[in-house]
Structure formats: structure tokens, C-alpha cells
Structure 1
Amino acid sequence: MKRAELTAYLAEFLQVDKFRDYAPNGLQVEGSEEIHKIVTGVTACQPLIEIAAERGADALLVHHGFFWKSEPEQIVGMKQRRIKALLLNDINLLGYHLPLDAHPVVGNNATLARKLGIVDAEPIEGVAQGLIWRGKLESAVTASQFKADIAAALGREPLHIGTDDRKVQSVAWCTGGAQDYLDIAAQYGLDAFISGEVSERTFHSAMEQGIEYYSAGHHATESYGIQALGEHLAREFGLEHEFVDISNPI
């Protein structure tokens, strides 16, 4: 498959132009024109780049790529080493941030809902670019049981802020570093909110607004969308695909 064909397809499939983002979505570092094998991963860190090179990837497809807003512009140090490794191995780097969070089928929010058994999952329309989703559990469980269910599904115990014996059924969520969307979720009278990270202020916000909060890990909540996207491309275009998980406790 030609690089230009892949980038054009992804731009349309993920509706890239609809989002105001903090980094460029699409091709970030140019490599081989022909793409036969894609390696996917959450973040374009040095270990992931090196594994992609070892596995003979023509493209590295990630959720967290390069060139974030307000970061230093110089290509030095860690950034230089990463980009150098991509160029030396002729690997294309493609990054999709908010468009991957929001996609209704392969997005991080959609895949997290399936992983946690949340039904009637849908974005809250007209709020935060459609990045906050809501749904419900098949049946109500205690807040402590929901914590255990999240841990079992994601392989990582979440931090729970709230009351262990409170019943939880209606849920909102936004993967990654979206802890401050808790305040929006609370306005809808939902039982719980899930995100990846947590801040000092999150504790007070959750307790004072009476909403259960679960910090389930930035990496853990965003591991499934990029896998689903890679699997989709493999099915659609006959590409070889391999997901590589670089463990991250955050």
C-alpha cells in the first residue's frame, strides 16, 4: 500500500479535520513510500521505535506521537534520537490523538466501553468535541466492586475516590489525561466518571459533587484504540499488523 493512500484513508476514517488538537494528526515523520507492515503502540518512545525497526515495520502507528503544542522546537537530545532512529530505518511515523479518542468504533472511548462491559455507550453531544462518553452497566454494582471489575479488565488496579458501598450504574468516561472532565460529568447526575490520570484537585471535586471517580491509568485506558485501528487496517488492506505494548504504570 502506498503511504499517501494510507494517510488519506486515515484522515477520512478518523475525521481528522473535525478536531482542534495539541499535535499534528497524520504523518509526522516520512519513511518508506510502500507500506506492508504496521506496528502499533500507545506512545512513540525509543523502545517502541527500536522494536518496530527490529520487526521490519514500514510504519509505526501511535496515539501519542511528536510535536506537541508548546514543546521545545529544537530536534536535540531525546527527540533527535527518536527521529534519527525512524529515519535510519525508513519508518513512517503516524500519530492520531483526539481523533482516535473519539472514533465511534475503534476509538479509545469506544473500545474502553466494550472492555468494561458498558452498554448504550455514546458521546455527550456538543460537549468537549465529543470526547466525553456516557453509558451504563448492565446492572448496578457497588463502587468497590466496580473498582475490582476495572482492575480485572485492564490488568491494573485503579485509584477510586468516593464511597465503597455506593451503587454505580450510570457512568461517564474519557480516556487519558481527562480528569478535569469530571466536573462536566457531575453536571449530568451520573454515578461515576472514569479517566486515566488524577490531580490533587480531583479528590475534592469528586467528594463534594458526590460522584465516584476512577483513575484507571493513562496508558491502560488508551491501549485498546490503537490496537483496534491497526486490526482494522490489516483487515481492510491486507497489511501485516503487530501491536507492541511498552509497559507504563502511569
Structure 2
Amino acid sequence: MVRLQELVAWCDALLQPERFRDYSPNGLQVEGRDEVRLLVSGVTATQALLDAALELEADAVLVHHGYFWRGEESRVTGMRRRRLRALLANDVSLIAYHLPLDAHPEVGNNAQLAARLGLRVDAPLNAEGIGSLGHLPEPMSGEAFARHLADVLGREPVWVDGGPERIERIAWCTGGAQGYIEQAAAAGVDAYLSGEISEQTTHVAHECGLHYFAAGHHATERYGAPALGERLAAEFDLQHRFVDIDNPA
């Protein structure tokens, strides 16, 4: 058991959200009971995740995608009312970290994805530390790397075959980070990996001479929140459960 404010302060110290210009508030978004015995982590604070957390009798929910996004509808009606009511009526806290959980070099989404894929990190992709530059343990064809992604992540990636015969240097950034592809190309990599693809991404990949892999927003970001949850369980006297609400996007 740990006090809620102590848990959030520890996360803030680890992830340093003040370093980021983010699209939503980081840290404690909805305050529940004072003490946390069971923490449920997930990727996105959907109703399905909240329902699962309530069934497990969780005291707090930790996610990558929380609420109160910039430019989002601010009225608490419909879906938003139901989600917030589930938390407030049951005295359950919602804790969310967006960009800070992408960037952390150990529990972050990009670091955790790299560990599962066997990618070796050389440097950050950009000044904020979101995304990475690195290389494969050994050169691999684009087709072979696409199969590797499918085997590890459990879904077929979208592959734009625009690069060299063998991939050695690679950049990656989880989630909806396809817009970083030109930064990746400027760094001289053979391939760029992210979660989503836009119409223009295909053209940029071909014209800049690199492979592009879109492996799924959810699929690439389902490792940071549970890694942070496990770190918290080890640091404090609490239980942790990861609930994966699958999403094909």
C-alpha cells in the first residue's frame, strides 16, 4: 500500500513531465482514494479498461492515453460523463503520462519497444528525446524485418519498400509519430518505424530513400505503462495488473 500523492510524486520525479510541451496534463488527472493497494495499467483510459479495473477492485488506473486533450470537447456529457462517473463514483484515481512515457530511456514506450525488437539505441531522434536512432543487431532485408515485427507484435505491419536492400541503421518512434519521418531521413537511416501511416508518409519514404513500417499505434505503445506499473510495484508495497484492451489501429 502507498499513499496516492507519494506514488504520483515518485512518477513525476522519474518521468519529469515539466520537460515536455504536451497535449494533455501529465500525472494525476482524476483523484480517488488516498491509498493505493492495486494499480491497473493500460494503454488508453477507455470505458472497457475502467470496467476491468473496477472488476479487479483497483484503487488507481495508470495509462499512456488519458483525458483532457488540447482542443477536445470540454463538456462532460455522454461518453465523457460515463467514464468520469465510473472513476469518481468508485473513488478510483486516473494517472496518465503521455510524452514523458514515450521518452523515458528505461520504462518508456520507445525503450521498451526497442528491447522487444532487439534494436540497439545509439541516440535520441530529436531534442526532446522522443524517438530513437539506432541499428539492428545484424543487417536485415525489409521483408525480413516486416516478418520480425509481425512475430513480435502479433500483427502485420504496413511496409513501404522505399529503402536499400539491407536495413542496418533505423529510427523509431511509437504511436502517431509518422510526421518524424523526415527527421529520420535527415539522420541517414535505412528505415523508420512508427505506429501509424498517413497518405504523405508513403511518398516521403520513397522520395527520401528509406523503408517505412507502420506497426500500429496501440501495438507499439502497449509496453510503457505496464513497465512503469511493474517499477512501481517493485518500489512500493502494491499489486499491479496490466489489462490489454486490444485496438487494431
Q: Quickly name the TM-score band, shorter chain normalised.
A: over 0.9
1:31-72 C-alpha deviation (Å, 9 max, x unpaired): 111111100000000000011001010000000000000001
Q: Distance in 2 between matches of 1:186 and 1:249?
A: 27
Query: How many angstroms does 1:128 deviate by?
Result: 4.9
User: Conserved in 1, the CA contact under 8 Å of 2:171 and 2:193?
Assistant: yes
Normalising by structure 2, report the TM-score.
0.97
Give the CA deviation at 1:122. Answer: 3.4
**1:219 aligns to what?**
218
CA contact (8 A) 1:196 1:219 kept: yes
1:149 is matched by which residue type in structure 2?
H
Provide the rounded CA distance (Å) in 2 between the counterparts of 1:37 and 1:172. Answer: 36
Question: Could you say which residue in structure 2 is the equivalent of 1:206?
Answer: 205
Asked if 1:108 corresponds to 2:126, the answer is: no
Matched residue, 2:124: 123
The answer for the alignment partner of 2:8 in structure 1 is 7
- SS in structure 1 of the partner of residue 36 of structure 2: coil
Conserved 8 A contact 1:113-1:121: no
Residue of structure 1 equivalent to 2:26: 25
User: Equivalences for 1:50-129 in 2 at 5 Å?
Assistant: 50-124=51-125, 127-129=126-128
Q: How many residues align?
A: 248
Alignment RMSD = 1.1
> How far apart in 1 are the matches of 2:124 and 2:7?
27
Whole-Å Cα distance in 1 between the matches of residues 69 and 221 of structure 2? Answer: 18
Query: What's the counterpart of residue 149 of structure 1?
Result: 148
Give SS of 1:86's match: helix
Structure 1, unaligned runs of 5 or more: none
8 Å CA contact retained: 1:193, 1:211:
yes
Moved more, 4-13 or 127-136: 127-136
2:186 maps to 187
CA contact (8 A) 1:195 1:214 kept: yes
Question: Would the aligned equivalents of 2:190 and 2:211 in 1 still touch at CA under 8 Å?
Answer: yes
| Residue 165 (structure 1) shift | 7.3
Answer yes or no: is the 8 Å Cα contact 2:110–2:172 preserved in 1: yes
- TM (norm. structure 1) is 0.97
Deviation at 1:162, TM superposition (A): 1.2
- Percent identity, aligned pairs only, is 52
The 4+ residue runs of structure 1 with deviation greater than 4 A are none
1:137 aligns with 2:136: yes
Counterpart-to-counterpart distance in 2, 1:105 and 1:40: 17
Contact 1:143–1:163 (Cα < 8 Å) also in 2 = no
Equivalent pair of 1:190/1:211 in contact (CA under 8 Å): yes
Q: In the alignment, which residue of structure 1 is the partner of 2:167?
A: 168
Question: Structure 2: which 5+ runs fail to align?
Answer: none
Q: Distance in 2 between matches of 1:210 and 1:145?
A: 18
The one-letter code sitting in structure 2 at the alignment partner of 1:105 is: E
